[in-house]
Amino acid sequence: MKIRPKRLQVGDTVGIIAPASPPNFEKLTKSFAFLEELGLKYVIGKSVQLQNGYLAGTDEERLSDLHEMIEDPNIAAILCASGGYGAARIAERIDYQLLEENPKIFWGFSDITYLHTAFGLYSDIVTFHGPTLSSMGREDVAERSKHMFKQLFEPAEIHYEEDISMLTTVSGGAVRGELTGGNLTLIVSSIGTKYEIDTKGKILLIEDIGLEPAQIDGLLNQLKLSRKLDEVAGVIIGEFTNAEPKEYVDSLTIDEVFTHYFGKLGKPVVKGFKIGHCEPNVAIPLGVDAILDADRKHLAILPGVQ
């Protein structure tokens, strides 16, 4: 069982970092009012306002921010300001033992998937797949996206049913297993590295943005050929935003792609979860056990904090 970080208390200080691309600072600034509504103080990492091409500062600057936030006993949680690209560039130099010895909440999604996977493997810690802070500074943020931050203050099970979004059973059955995964592109990019995702006996979450069906097909085929789909206990299909065909006029639909890979998997698979690049973006802990009942279209997740 992975280490569950301590829950937040009103008055706690959170650290804000940008381990990948620089955030939209205007939207990020607007999100600070939301943190204050939660009763939290915040410290902004140095790299958050830096830019090195498509990166938030150099690899050294982004890595230093992460380590400083982990080491600082006054920081109760680490929230990622943005995704983009670049988290994998610092993975090899992270002090994973430091995080294991100083477990604290780590929150983000998209490119941050690479760090979720790495922390799960080498720091043995529960992390949180949830909206980046810059996305919380948009005008159209759903109340449910905001509400999901409450799970950091009080251990509570998450129950996802069709009252949140329409769910579709792709393959039936029910299973209990540890949650893992996140952004499909980043999951696949880990294969063949020391940070390769472990799906054996686990419930795999996948989501992505801006990929047409042929590209999603290629990524799922890589998961299949690397036997990651053979090993899973079940699959949660989150939001695949802007997944319309572009280059291929006579394209398969995204649903046809999902049916091809998951329809005869013989394990529970459900699609339609509002998890990923969408509103609401339902935040969930990774590294905890969950029960996926594809026949009832119900997902129950154990608390991520203690």
Predicted confidence (pLDDT) per residue in 45-63, tens digit: 999 999 999 999 999 999 9
Spot the catalytic one: 21, 47, 110, 145: 110
pLDDT tens digits along 252-305: 999 999 999 999 999 999 999 999 999 999 999 999 999 999 999 999 999 999
The neighbour count for residue 2, using CB atoms within 10 Å, is 19
pLDDT of residue 98: 98
Spot the catalytic one: 82, 129, 189, 277: 277
pLDDT of residue 227: 98
> Among this protein's residues, is 190 annotated catalytic?
no
Q: Are 129 and 109 in contact (CB under 8 A)?
A: yes
pLDDT tens digits along 63-75: 999 999 999 999 9
The architecture of the domain spanning 158-301 is 3-Layer(bba) Sandwich (3.50)
> Among this protein's residues, is 165 annotated catalytic?
no
What are 231's two structure tokens?
């090993």
Taking the C-alpha atoms of residue 227 and residue 262, their distance in angstroms, rounded to an integer, is 13
- Closest CA relative to residue 182, chosen from 125, 137, 128: 128
pLDDT of residue 182: 98
Q: Give the angle subtended at the CA of 237 by the CAs of 152 and 202, to the nearest 5°.
A: 70
Residue 24: burial class (beta carbons within 10 Å; 0-12, 13-18, 19+) = middle
pLDDT of residue 285: 99
In the predicted model, is pLDDT for residue 249 greater than 90? no
CATH topology of domain 13-152: Rossmann fold (3.40.50)
Q: Are 272 and 237 in contact (CB under 8 A)?
A: yes
In the predicted model, is pLDDT for residue 236 greater than 90? yes
> Domains of the chain: which residue ranges?
13-152, 158-301
**Greatest pairwise CA separation for the chain in angstroms:** 56
In the predicted model, is pLDDT for residue 248 greater than 90? no
The overall average pLDDT reported for the chain is 98
Q: Per-residue pLDDT averaged across 173-189, rounded?
A: 98
pLDDT tens digits along 16-34: 999 999 999 999 999 999 9
Spot the catalytic one: 178, 190, 207, 239: 207
Q: Grade residue 243 by pLDDT with cuts at 50, 70 and 90.
A: very high
> Among this protein's residues, is 207 annotated catalytic?
yes
Q: Are 210 and 83 in contact (CB under 8 A)?
A: no
Give one word for 107, left, alpha or beta, with left for phi > 0 and alpha for psi -120 to 50: beta
CA dihedral angle for residue 80, residue 81, residue 84, residue 90, rounded to 10 degrees? -50
